[in-house]
Every structure is written in structure tokens, then in C-alpha cells.
Amino acid sequence: MSLTQYRALGRSGLVVSPMCLGTMTFGPGDWGADEAASRAVFDAYRDAGGNFVDTADIYSGGASEVFVGKFIKQSQSRDQIVLATKFGFNGSRNPLAATQGTAGNPHAGGAGSKNIHRALDASLARLGTDYIDLYWMHIWDGVTPAEEIVQTLGDLVRAGKIRHYAFSDMPAWFATKAATIAAERRVPGPIAMQLEYSLVARDVEAEHIPSARDAGMGVMPWSPLAGGFLTGKYRREDTAATGRLSGANPFGDSKFTARNWDILATVKDIAAEHDRTPAQIALAWVMAQRGVASTLIGARTVSQLTGNIAAADIRLTADQITRLDQGSAPAGGFTAGLASPMIRRMIYGGHDVAGWSD
């Protein structure tokens, strides 16, 4: 597989590379890249044939969008690139200010119509373009009705300001509800889900992946290397390697758990069998999962990026996939139990009946 083996994202005509360039690292910050380093990463991704770039209004306080817009303009590639950005998180105040008593503007976050219009206009200005190819709801706000979100984003598609929209970090039921409302009303619906998905984060397999497949939404895993953990550069006995996870982890709980170290050990064994890096094996695994349309790759440097892109041509054997699957299997849970082969056989008189979206 190469980055030019394009595929449709979900049930849409949006044609994307199997790896999407994540740009959360573009811009200042503890684990970010300055403008020159970010440009080099962007150029290397384009040189490899990649056509899909993902940013967000919140990344580096808007600097990521500014960089991406500049690089697209300088490379005159706007017509070739699928440009994705996101709205939802509130940029009007430092989240750390919660303990300092300073209040932000509630209309500068969430998925209400008022904020979506504000956020989109600000993103278009920073990106220096007049349309977004794929506009993401970055996070479910738990407040705005699905009807309002479908109406607002569908109207923006019809107005030509965005070509498609999609959801990140939301309950599966919410995505299904929005997709159903859109289908019943014959209006544009969501075409993809962006979810944390890796060998050490497989919770989304129970509800989200089946929901995405049923509704024709392509799955895009984020943090496929668990923020760098699955590269193997941190060691169980010494986690002090320089990298994103050596400081405060912005994604909450530590990746350094006994279970995750065991998963990494299997990844390392299989990397040795292929004479490849653990990062490449972890990426090859997630790219091979059902429902996955395009995987977000994060890189701070060109060598990280090119190393990760090289994962696209790895074919894991059935035995290797089984070892990786078994060692990293998520705790069953209620829904996973319902979908088990044993239950299906109990229902269909001992037959392994396949559903259309299995």
C-alpha cells in the first residue's frame, strides 16, 4: 500500500490517502515543531503522495491552521489537498485558568449553531481559503441537540463553505442518531468518525466501529502510536526518554501501565520478525482493522514521518495479527458479548450467519 492508494472516506466521493497528516504538532509548545520543521514534515508527506491534512482551530492556539494554510498556498496545492479542520473546544480562555477564576465566552465553544459559524469563519481566515473539505465536530458537547448540528452543518455544505462534515470524540449513539436524522431528512450527513484507536486503546471496537460501518462512516484513528508509547522509545525500567510522554500527558492517564508494557513487548517481537520498527508494526495493525479508512499519523520530525509512512507496505501474517489481537483485547463489555459468535450461533441454529456490515 502507498499513500497514493486513495480510497473514499465513508459513503462519500471524498478521495483520501490511507494515512492522513495530523498537524497537532505544528506550532509552538512542549511537543510541537516550529515553522521550518513543520514545513519539512508537510513537504515530506506531499512528496510521498499524501493528499489528506488534518488540523484544528485549537491546535497551538491557531498556529497549526496558519502554518497549514501557508504551506498549501506556497505549494499551490489547494486543489489537490483534502483539507480538514475542527471546531468545538473553547479557545477564549486557557483551560488551566479554571482555578484562577477567569471566565471565557461560552459562545466560543461547543456545537451550537452560533459557535459553528464563528469558528468556521475564523478557521477560513487562518487557513486563507474559502472552503473546508472536511469539517469536524472536534468533541461532543453533551448539550446541543443532534437536530441542530445536522441542520447547521448540512446548511454549510449546501452553502459551499464546507464540502463534508464528520464527528470526533462522541458517543456512538450520537453519531448514529445524527446520521439517521440526516438520512431521513435527505440532507447531508456525517461521513467519518475520528477516534482514539490503537493497540492500547481498543474500547471503540464495541460500539463505534459497528456504528460507523452501519452508517457508512469511515473511521480515522487518532494517536495510533499512543502519543509515541508504541514506538518503543520508552522502556519499562526507564521511561525518561525525551518525548511527548515524558512531560505532563495532555490526554489524561499515563500510558505506562503493566498491561501496555506487555502489549508493547509483543509489538517489539513482531517488529524483530519483520526487521521493522515497533511504530511501523503498531501502525500496520491499526490500518488493517475493519472500518479504518485513513489513519492519522503524528510526527514532530521528517524522520519520524517517513519511518511511519513506511508502515503502509507491511503485511502482518494471520498469526501475527492473532498474537497482537489477543494480547491487546479490550475487556468484553455488554455490547461485545451480544456480538459474539456464540450468541449468533444460538440465534441461528448453530450457523455462522454474517450480517451485511460485519
The interface mask with ligand NAP, positions 40-79, x = CB under 6 A, is --------------x-------------------------
- x/- track of binding to ligand NAP for residues 189-228 (CB under 6 A): -----x---------------------------xxxxxxx
Instruction: Indicate whether 24 belongs to the interface with ligand NAP (CB under 6 A).
Output: yes
Residue with cell 513482531: 270
Cα(65)–Cα(71) distance, rounded to whole angstroms?
10
- Catalytic-labelled residue, pool 59, 135, 165, 234: 59
Residues in 244-263 that interact with ligand NAP by CB under 6 A: 244
76-105 residues in contact with ligand NAP (CB under 6 A) are none
Q: Does residue number 307 form part of the binding site for ligand NAP (CB under 6 A)?
A: yes
CB of 53 to ligand NAP, least distance (A): 9
Rounded least distance, CB 45 to ligand NAP, Å: 12
Binding footprint of ligand NAP, residue count (CB under 6 A): 30
Identified binder of ligand NAP from the candidate list 10, 18, 22, 110, rule CB under 6 A: 22
Q: Is position 59 annotated as part of the catalytic site?
A: yes
- For 319, half-sphere exposure in the C-beta direction (CA atoms, 13 angstrom radius) is 3
Region of 160 please: left (phi>0), alpha (psi -120 to 50) or beta. left
Separation of alpha carbons 205 and 291, rounded Å:
10
Q: Shortest gap between Cβ of 344 and ligand NAP (angstroms)? A: 33
Only one residue has cell 487562518, namely 126
Site string for ligand NAP, 268-297 (x = CB under 6 A): -----------x----------------xx
Interface with ligand NAP, residue 299, by CB under 6 A = yes
Q: How far is the CB of 341 from ligand NAP (least distance, A)?
A: 31
Q: Which three cell numbers stand for residue 35?
A: 515553522
Nearest distance, CB of residue 113 and ligand NAP, angstroms: 21
CB nearer ligand NAP, residue 292 or residue 299 = 299
Listed in sequence order, the DSSP H helices in the chain are 35-47, 63-74, 113-127, 146-159, 172-185, 208-215, 258-274, 278-287, 302-309, 318-328, 333-338, 341-347
Sign of CA dihedral 107, 120, 198, 245: negative
CA distance 20 to 52: 5
Element (H, E) at 136: strand 132-137
Residue 23 binds ligand NAP, judged by CB under 6 A: yes
- Quote the least distance from Cβ 101 to ligand NAP, whole Å: 27
Can you spell out the DSSP letters for 236-297?
A: TTB---SSGGGS--TTSS-S--HHHHHHHHHHHHHHHHHT--HHHHHHHHHHTSTTB--EEE
What is the spatial distance between Cα 39 and Cα 34, in angstroms, rounded to a whole number?
9
Contact between 303 and 239 (Cβ < 8 Å): no
Residues binding ligand NAP (CB under 6 A): 22-25, 31, 54, 138, 168-169, 194, 222-228, 231, 233, 243-244, 279, 296-300, 304, 307-308
As annotated, the active-site residues are 59
